[in-house]
């Protein structure tokens, strides 16, 4: 089974609709992240969470909100979707790979189309 899972994998919605993207992990990591990926812009951080009680904005948080329901679950919501939010969304978790070195492990992504 995958360590980081995202649902749904694909989603088409209409302008103005509220949608939620979900992320679950079995890696036991405390830190979780949401990114969006756009052609030519790379990965940009939307929100990140160091633990259940700690939520932080990333560089492009406007129009998005998050919820950390448990250590293993981190959800991203688009309150009122707009076409500009059409992108590939990735969830990631952060943990050590050796000693104190940390890196991020990514889910498979959610492809979102806002009409």
Q: For other proteins, which is the closer residue by CB, 15 or 41?
A: 41
Question: Beta strands 10-13 and 110-114: pairing type?
Answer: parallel
Helix (H, G, I), strand (E, B) or coil at 28: coil
Tokens 């509220």 -> residue: 18
Tokens 């790379």 -> residue: 42
Those residues with Cβ within 8 angstroms of residue 63's Cβ, 6 or more apart along the chain or in another chain? 78, 79, 80, 82, 85
Kindly state the smallest distance separating residue 81's Cβ from other proteins, in Å: 22
Kindly state the smallest distance separating residue 104's Cβ from other proteins, in Å: 6
Q: For other proteins, which is the closer residue by CB, 4 or 81?
A: 4
Q: For other proteins, which is the closer residue by CB, 14 or 21?
A: 21
Helix (H, G, I), strand (E, B) or coil at 85: helix
Q: Of the candidates 73, 93, 61, 97, which has an alpha carbon nearest to the alpha carbon of residue 7?
A: 73
Kindly state the smallest distance separating residue 30's Cβ from other proteins, in Å: 10
Q: Give the footprint of other proteins on this chain (CB under 8 A).
A: 4, 31, 40-43, 45, 48, 50, 56, 58, 90, 92, 94, 97, 101-109, 111
Kindly state the smallest distance separating residue 60's Cβ from other proteins, in Å: 13
């Amino acid at each position: 089974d995958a360590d980081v899972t995202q649902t749904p994998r694909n989603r088409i919605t209409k302008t103005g609709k509220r949608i939620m993207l979900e992320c679950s992990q079995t890696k036991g990591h405390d830190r979780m992240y949401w990114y969006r990926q756009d052609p030519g812009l790379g990965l940009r951080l939307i929100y990140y969470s160091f633990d259940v009680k700690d939520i932080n904005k990333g560089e492009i948080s406007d129009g998005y909100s998050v919820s950390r329901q448990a250590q293993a679950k981190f959800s991203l919501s688009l309150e009122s979707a707009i076409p500009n939010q059409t992108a590939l969304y990735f969830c990631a978790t952060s943990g050590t790979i050796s000693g104190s070195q940390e890196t991020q492990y990514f889910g498979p992504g959610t492809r979102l189309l806002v009409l």
